[in-house]
Structure 1
Amino acid sequence: MLLLYTIGIKFYSAIIWIFSFFNEKAALFISGRKQIFNHIAKKIDPLNENIWFHFASLGEFEQGRPVLENLKKLHPQKKIVITFFSPSGYEIRKNYALADGIFYLPMDSRKNAQRFVELVNPQTAIFTKYEFWYYYFKELNKKSIPLFVVSGIFRKDQIFFKGYGLFFKGILKCVTHFFVQNNESCILLHSIGLENVTVSGDTRFDRVFENAANAKAKSEIALFCGDSPTLICGSTWPDDEKLLVALPAKYPGWKFIIAPHEIHESHILSIESIFQKTTRFSEFKNTGKSDSAVLIIDNIGMLSALYQYGKAAYIGGGFGAGIHNTLEAAAFGLPVIFGPKFNKFQEAKDLIKIGAAKSVSNGTELINAFEYFKSNAQSSSAAKKYVEDNKGATASVLNKLIFNSLVK
C-alpha cells in the first residue's frame, strides 16, 4: 500500500505539472515549491522554538487561526512556521504578520519530509481539520515531535474506518492528540483503537465570532447598499450565479453583492454576461456611482467584512464539491441559503434544523427561501445565537495543550 501511496503522490504531482501550463493555480502550485528548501533554510533557524502550523488552504487557516494567535500570545518567544498545500491559502496569507516563515508544503515523500523536519526542527506540529500525510507524520513520530490535529472531523465513509484502510489507520496512529468537532468523530476514532481524543468543538466559531465583533467598516459597500436590504452572495461558482440571476429583476428594492470564489477575468465576464446590469467593485471604488443593483467584488479578501451589510446570504459551492463558509454570515445574524451538496457540513445541517438556513436545488426553491428569510426576523437571531452558543473550542484546545504541558 505504501508503494501505491507513493505512486499516487507522484501521479498527482505530474497532473498538476501538466495543468500548470494553462492553469494559474496549478502554475502557482508548481512555482511556489521551486527551491523551497533553500527558502526555508534562509528564513528559519532550527535552533529556535519553532511551532509548525499546517493548513490545507485559506479556510483551514481561518479555522486554526484562533489557536495560533492565542498560542503566540501565551508564548511570544515561540516562532511560528506556517505551510499551505494550496495556492488559495498561501497566496492570500503569505504576508501574515505573526508568522516567522510561510511556505508551500513540499510534496509528501520520505526525502522531503526528512529535509523539511530537519530544517524547521519544530517543537510541535499542529494540523487543522484534515490532511494526513504519511511521510511527514512518520518523520514527526520518529523524531518524537508532538503532532496535534485541531478541529478534526471524521465520517464513517472515510477510508480510515474501512476494513481495507489499515495503511491509513497507521497514519492516524502518529497523531499525539486529536481535538475533534463532534461526538461522532470521537466515537469513530475510538472504534479503531484511538483513545487520544478530546471533543473540543470547531474553532471556526471563535474565529467568525471575533470577526463579526471586530468587523472593519467598508465605506464603499455602505455607500452602494444605502438603505436597501442586501443579499450577500459569497464564494459563488457559475452554477450558483445562474440560479441567482432571477433575483434582481424580481426584487427591485434589493441590492445584490456577488463575491465569486474565482475572480479571474473570464469568470467576472461570465457573471456580467448573464446579469442584466452590474458594476465591478474596482469601478465603483473609483467613481462612487452605480446605476445597477448588482455589485461584483473583483478582489480577494473582502468577503468576511461584507456580511455586516447584508440582510441575508447565499453561500456558493453547493452545486459542486460542497458549500463554502456559512458561519461567517451566520455570525452577523444572516440567514443563509445554499445548494444541495451540504451533507458533509455539520453547521449547515444545524442551521437548517434551527430555521436559519435553507438548501435549494432550483429557481423555485431559491425564490421560496428568499421570500421566507426576507421577512422572518427570527431566523436572523437564530443564526447569530447558534454561533455564540458554539464558540469556545479555542479555549478547550489551549487548556489541553498548555496546562497539560503538551506545548511548553
Structure 2
Amino acid sequence: MTRPLYSLLFHLCLPLIALRLLWRAWRAPAYRQRLGERLALGLPPLAPGGIWVHAVSVGESIAAAPMIRALQARYPQLPITVTCMTPTGSERIRALFGDSVQHCYLPYDLPWAAARFLERVRPQLAIIMETELWPNHIHQCARRGIPVVLANARLSARSARGYGRFARLTAPMLAQLSWIAVQSEAEAERFRALGARPGCVEVTGSIKFDLPIDPQLPLRAAALRADWQATARPLWIAASTHAGEDEVVLDAHRRLRHVQPEALLILVPRHPERFAGVFELCCQSGFATARRSLGEPVGASTGVVLGDTMGELLFLYALADIALVGGSLVPSGGHNLLEPAALGKPVLSGPQLFNFLEIAALLRAAGALQEVTDAASLSLALQQAWTDPAATHARAQAGLAVVRANQGALNRLLDGLGRLLPV
C-alpha cells in the first residue's frame, strides 16, 4: 500500500470512523466535544513557531510530562503545543500543564487536515511519543522541512510484523523521520529492518525510568491511610485494569479475605467509562465499596476502594503495600510496571506484557517482578507477600534498584532534541 492509496482508503472509511466516534460518544460523552478539531476545524488559538508534542492518550501524556517540563525550562521562549487523540488524554494534559502549553486534538491523518493543522502551528520541531505513526502528518512535516522525532520509541515484534505487511507505506514514512530515540537495541533493529535510516536510530533508553517522585507523596499517602484507620490493614492495589480483569481481581480478593479478613483492595479501572460498571461489579460481588471520586468514608467494613479519579494513580500506588499492574491478565500488553517499582512497592503482573518486554525482563531478572495467571495464583502471591515480609521487602528494593540503575534516558533525549532545534 502506498501513501496515496492509504489516503484514499482513509477518506472512504470516514463514515465508519464517524460511526465509531458516535458509538464512543454514547459510552463516553466527552467524545461529543470538540469534534471539529479532529478535522482541523475550529482549532483554538495557537501561537506558531514552537515545539509540537503528540502523546496519543493518558499513558503517553504522563510519560511525556518530564520531557515537556524540561523543554519549557530549556526553551522558555518557545510555545509548546501538545496534542492527543482521547478525552482522557486531554484531561490529563490540562491537569498536568494547565495554560502553560497549547492543546488540541490531533486531526485525523488526512492530507488536507494535516496540512491545515501544520499551517496553524508551524512548529520548529515535531515530537511523537512512543509509536504513534501517521504517514500524512509525517509527510506534511517533511514537505515543510520540519524535523520529526519519534521519542521514547518502542516497537514490539508483533507491531513490527504488522507494519511490515505494509512496507511500501511504512518504509518511506520511517525514512522521513529525523531521529528515532528508541528504548532498546532490539527495537532499534526492528525500526532499521522496516526502513528507518540506520544513522537516525539511536538507543537512548526509556524515559519512564526517569519518573519524578514528589517526596511529599508517601507522607500524604500515610496520612490518608491513617484517616482510613488502615495503617495495619493489608492493603493492595490492582491498577489500570481492563474488562475481564476486574472479575479475576475481585475473586482473588475474596480468597485473600478468607485468610486476611481485614484486607483492603484499591481497584483502579484503566478507562473512565468503565468506572460505573466496575462499581456495580464490586457491589454485586458482595464488597462494601467506597468511591474515591465522591470522598466516601473508608471504614472497617469497607472491602474495596474504587479509584474512579484521574491523575491520582501514583498517589494510590503509594497508599498500597503491594501492586498488581493491570492490562496483563488479558491480552492488552500490560501497563507501566515502573510506577509502583519507583515507589518501592513489590510488583505483580499477569503474563501478557508484550508492550513492556524489556522492562519486564529487567525486573524479572532482578527478582522484582512476580507473575500470576489467575485468581488462585494472585491470591496465593498476595498471601505469601504478607507472610514473608523479608522476601517482599527484598523484591521491592530490587525493583527500586532497577529503576535507579536505568535512569538518564531523559537527558539523552533532551540532548538529541537540542541538536535538531534551530534556536
Q: Same fold (TM over 0.5)?
A: yes
The offset of 1:140, in angstroms, is: 0.6
Match among 245, 248, 253 for residue 247 of structure 1: 253
The DSSP-based 3-state class of the residue aligned with 1:135 is helix
Match among 382, 405, 411 for residue 389 of structure 1: 405
The DSSP-based 3-state class of the residue aligned with 1:34 is helix
Q: C-alpha separation between the residues in 2 aligned to 1:20 and 1:304?
A: 30
Any idea what the Cα deviations from partners look like across 1:162-213, whole Å, max 9, x if unmatched?
Answer: 3751321111111111111011122233344432122111111112xx1354
Q: C-alpha separation between the residues in 2 aligned to 1:282 and 1:139?
A: 42
> Relative to 1, partners in 2 of residues 1:23 and 1:160: Cα closer, same or farther, differing over 3 Å?
closer
The residue correspondences of 1:266-345 to structure 2 (distance < 5 A) are 266-283=277-294, 285=295, 287=297, 289=299, 291-318=301-328, 319-345=330-356
Equivalent in the alignment of 1:366: 378
> Relative to 1, partners in 2 of residues 1:288 and 1:252: Cα closer, same or farther, differing over 3 Å?
closer
Any idea what the Cα deviations from partners look like across 1:248-301, whole Å, max 9, x if unmatched?
Answer: 423224321111223432232122212433222245x35464521321122222
Q: C-alpha separation between the residues in 1 aligned to 2:11 and 2:123?
A: 26
The offset of 1:156, in angstroms, is: 3.9
Q: C-alpha separation between the residues in 2 aligned to 1:244 and 1:302?
A: 20
The offset of 1:247, in angstroms, is: 2.3
Contact 2:345 2:396 in 1 (8 A): yes
Q: Give the count of matched residue pairs.
A: 401
Runs of 4+ in 1 over 6 A off after TM superposition: none
Match among 183, 186, 191 for residue 185 of structure 2: 183
> Relative to 1, partners in 2 of residues 1:355 and 1:84: Cα closer, same or farther, differing over 3 Å?
same
Question: What letter is aligned with 2:16?
Answer: I
Q: C-alpha separation between the residues in 1 aligned to 2:213 and 2:232?
A: 23
Question: What letter is aligned with 2:253?
Answer: L
Q: Which moved more, 1:134-143 or 1:2-11?
A: 2-11
The residue correspondences of 1:198-237 to structure 2 (distance < 5 A) are 198-207=202-211, 210-211=212-213, 213=215, 215=217, 217-218=220-221, 219-224=223-228, 225-237=230-242
The residue correspondences of 1:166-181 to structure 2 (distance < 5 A) are 166-181=168-183
Q: C-alpha separation between the residues in 1 aligned to 2:79 and 2:336?
A: 29
Contact 1:173 1:194 in 2 (8 A): no
Equivalent in the alignment of 2:45: 43
Stretches of structure 2 lacking an aligned partner (at least 5 in a row)? none
Any idea what the Cα deviations from partners look like across 1:45-83, whole Å, max 9, x if unmatched?
Answer: 33xx31100011111111122111111101111101010
Question: What letter is aligned with 1:307?
Answer: Y
Identity %: 24
The DSSP-based 3-state class of the residue aligned with 2:353 is coil
Contact 1:16 1:26 in 2 (8 A): no
Correspondence 1:400 to 2:403: no
The offset of 1:407, in angstroms, is: 5.1
Match among 276, 279, 286 for residue 265 of structure 1: 276
Stretches of structure 1 lacking an aligned partner (at least 5 in a row)? none
Q: Which moved more, 1:251-260 or 1:173-182?
A: 251-260
The residue correspondences of 1:106-145 to structure 2 (distance < 5 A) are 106-145=107-146
The DSSP-based 3-state class of the residue aligned with 2:302 is coil
> Relative to 1, partners in 2 of residues 1:214 and 1:276: Cα closer, same or farther, differing over 3 Å?
closer
Any idea what the Cα deviations from partners look like across 1:379-405, whole Å, max 9, x if unmatched?
Answer: 010111111111111101112222x35
Contact 1:233 1:313 in 2 (8 A): yes
Contact 2:109 2:134 in 1 (8 A): yes
Q: Which moved more, 1:237-246 or 1:376-385?
A: 237-246
Question: What letter is aligned with 2:45?
Answer: K
Any idea what the Cα deviations from partners look like across 1:103-161, whole Å, max 9, x if unmatched?
Answer: 11110011011101101110111111011111110111111111111100123441477
> Relative to 1, partners in 2 of residues 1:20 and 1:124: Cα closer, same or farther, differing over 3 Å?
closer
The offset of 1:232, in angstroms, is: 1.4
Question: What letter is aligned with 2:68?
Answer: L
TM norm structure 2: 0.87
> Relative to 1, partners in 2 of residues 1:322 and 1:161: Cα closer, same or farther, differing over 3 Å?
closer
The offset of 1:363, in angstroms, is: 2.2
> Relative to 1, partners in 2 of residues 1:290 and 1:397: Cα closer, same or farther, differing over 3 Å?
same
Any idea what the Cα deviations from partners look like across 1:330-382, whole Å, max 9, x if unmatched?
Answer: 11111222222113312123222222112222222213322343322210101
The DSSP-based 3-state class of the residue aligned with 1:258 is strand
> Relative to 1, partners in 2 of residues 1:156 and 1:194: Cα closer, same or farther, differing over 3 Å?
farther
The DSSP-based 3-state class of the residue aligned with 2:155 is coil
The DSSP-based 3-state class of the residue aligned with 2:333 is coil
Match among 359, 364, 380 for residue 347 of structure 1: 359
The DSSP-based 3-state class of the residue aligned with 1:211 is coil
Q: C-alpha separation between the residues in 2 aligned to 1:31 and 1:262?
A: 18
Q: C-alpha separation between the residues in 2 aligned to 1:151 and 1:338?
A: 23
Q: C-alpha separation between the residues in 2 aligned to 1:98 and 1:348?
A: 36
- Measured on the aligned residues, the alpha-carbon RMSD in Å equals 2.5
